[in-house]
Amino acid sequence: MRVVVTGAAGMVGSNLVHGLNAMGIDDVIAVDDLTEGAKFRNLLGARVSDYFDRNEFYDRFALGELGRIDAVLHEGACSDTMEHNGRYMLEANYRCSKDLLDICQSRGTRLLYASSAAIYGDSTVFREAAEHERPLNVYGYSKLLFDNIVRRMLATARFQVAGFRYFNVYGPREQHKGRMASVAYHHFGQLRESGKVKLFGEYGGYGPGQQARDFVFVDDVVAVNLWFLRHPERSGIFNVGTGRAQPFNDVAHATINASRAQRGEAPLSLEQQVSRGLIEYGPFPQALVGKYQCHTQADLTSLRASGCDVQFADVATGVRRYADWLNACGAAA
């Protein structure tokens, strides 16, 4: 099988390349923009058959110069939810994806692509249906716009098209993401630098640290992608999360205890961590007021109906695995 991964040096993309290798697929064409050259580290140890800059790839793929491509795993996008340049966002996330979809359908190539739970915005129901889709920013809108194009063409699609609405992904190979890295990553960094974790205080009717998200470990995201790669008959748009909403307190609690375990120290309860000053609550940022999802929880009905039986780690399990990976890389808190 010959597979292209766009955004191949990014977090999900690089883990997908390693996952493809693990299932015996070595003919992997990596596509990315390595202007930020340090991202190459995410692909160290991976087996790829070629690399293309994103601009060169799309032109050459459209012209048929790359030969037979069985599937494109499209992870390339602008994922900065604080980016306000709508023109740039729609070009990067909508138009690029729409052009790729057209090329794939014309060339007999399957397309598996990254969507986002940001589409749901301030909804209280997280099901893949139009009445629940209310993005709060142009990033979420750019993803919704492409999902709607896919919906319109699924009935007549000649080849597999599957979109995955990722919830809050965390795990290895996200160090390049800066402010957009996961809560867990930032918690490990805060512990290393200051010996404590910082969380938002009260906001949106939630107590300190009680705002809740569906946090999904990146290995499980990879597993879903690879399941659909093995099942070309399955198309559609699917939530990819654990189906559980867990408060930010759970992430902080798991991070601190994972770090303590690496030092041979006993775990502490959340209350003990707070009383010892290991968790600190601060005022909610004014810049995020009205633009923040206080609660997300993936409805997995459609994913399970597809036959996908991937099991998702809870926060305690996933964060512990993440801590082990960071420790092995010499980057643990």
Catalytic annotation, residues: 139, 177
Is residue 280 within a helix (H) or strand (E), and if so which, with residue range? strand 279-282
CA gap 136, 157 in Å, rounded: 30
CA gap 44, 83 in Å, rounded: 29
- Return phi, psi of residue 298, to 5°: -65, 130
CA gap 185, 169 in Å, rounded: 11
Q: Please identify which residue in the block is written with the tokens 């306000």.
A: 84
Q: How far is CA 237 from the centre of its chain?
A: 15
Q: What token pair was written down for 38?
A: 């340090």
Amino acid letter at 282? G
**Sign of the four-CA dihedral 315, 230, 52, 101:** negative
CA gap 102, 7 in Å, rounded: 19
CA gap 328, 239 in Å, rounded: 31
**Sign of the four-CA dihedral 95, 60, 151, 238:** negative
CB 303 within 8 A of CB 238: yes
Cβ-based neighbours of 270, under 8 Å, separated by 6 or more = 249, 253, 279
CA gap 128, 120 in Å, rounded: 9
